[in-house]
Amino acid sequence: MDRKQEILLAANKSFSLFGYKATTMEQIAKIANVGKGTIYNFFENKEVLFQEIVLHMIEEMKQEAIHVIREDAQFQENAHAALMKMLEFRETHQLYAKIIDEEKQWKTPAVKHVIGQVEQAIVSFICEKIDKYVQKGEIRQVNAELVAYLLLKAYVAFVNDWNLTHDNSLSEEEIANFFQDTIFRSLAI
């Protein structure tokens, strides 16, 4: 099998298991059954290799988001489903969970950077959906980027942060209804 793939696979496994910092190039080489030097024939350095892995993860996340979208549904339903699915990734996807931990604990710059990329990818994705629904005439013409950013931040606030400071945790339905009643309501024609 092609060595680049082996390396990517090994790197993915190791980053997912141990995070960025705790993964060594030697570790990856061993899992991939190659010499350490070989990795550098395919990837400029550790960070570039990591980028590649994260890009792949973003693609996975996008696919899962696309998967929960129903063409015939209203914007609100689709946006809610997609955002929830992507936020779910934070807990269910090993690599994503690991790097979120790492960012909090060590603030590794490389990790901080890719988390920014993931966030940007989510915003872009939502942005596209907004544009599409504006085209369809189902929602008002708005600054899609600002709305997408607001939606992401609002969802993160209610899904991840609310529980940290409040005892009465919110069910997904309560969250859906609340946003239905506020942000989404404001987008209706």
Kindly state the smallest distance separating residue 112's Cβ from a copy of itself, in Å.
11
Kindly state the smallest distance separating residue 71's Cβ from a copy of itself, in Å.
25
Kindly state the smallest distance separating residue 73's Cβ from a copy of itself, in Å.
20
Are 75 and 137 in contact by the 8 Å Cβ rule? The answer is no
- From the list 38-46, 63-71, 79-87, 145-153, the region that binds a copy of itself by CB under 8 A is 145-153
- N residues, the chain: 189
Give the one entry of a copy of itself, DNA, none that residue 105 binds, where binding means its C-beta sits below a cut-off of 5 to 8 angstroms depending on kind.
none
Which positions touch DNA (CB under 7 A)? 3, 21-26, 29, 34-38, 40-41, 45-47
Q: In the chain, which ranges are continuous DSSP H helix?
A: 3-18, 25-32, 36-42, 46-68, 75-92, 94-106, 109-136, 144-156, 162-165, 172-179, 185-187
Are 187 and 80 in contact by the 8 Å Cβ rule? The answer is no
Quick one: DSSP state of residue 182?
I
User: Quick one: how far is CA 19 from the chain centroid?
Assistant: 16
Give the one entry of DNA, a copy of itself, none that residue 161 binds, where binding means its C-beta sits below a cut-off of 5 to 8 angstroms depending on kind.
a copy of itself
Give the one entry of a copy of itself, DNA, none that residue 172 binds, where binding means its C-beta sits below a cut-off of 5 to 8 angstroms depending on kind.
none
- Ranges within 103-132 binding a copy of itself (CB under 8 A): 116, 119-120
Query: Toward a copy of itself, which CB reaches closer, 18 or 178?
Result: 178
Give the one entry of a copy of itself, DNA, none that residue 138 binds, where binding means its C-beta sits below a cut-off of 5 to 8 angstroms depending on kind.
none
> What is the C-alpha separation between 101 and 72, in angstroms, rounded?
37
Could you identify the residue written with the tokens 């596209």? 128
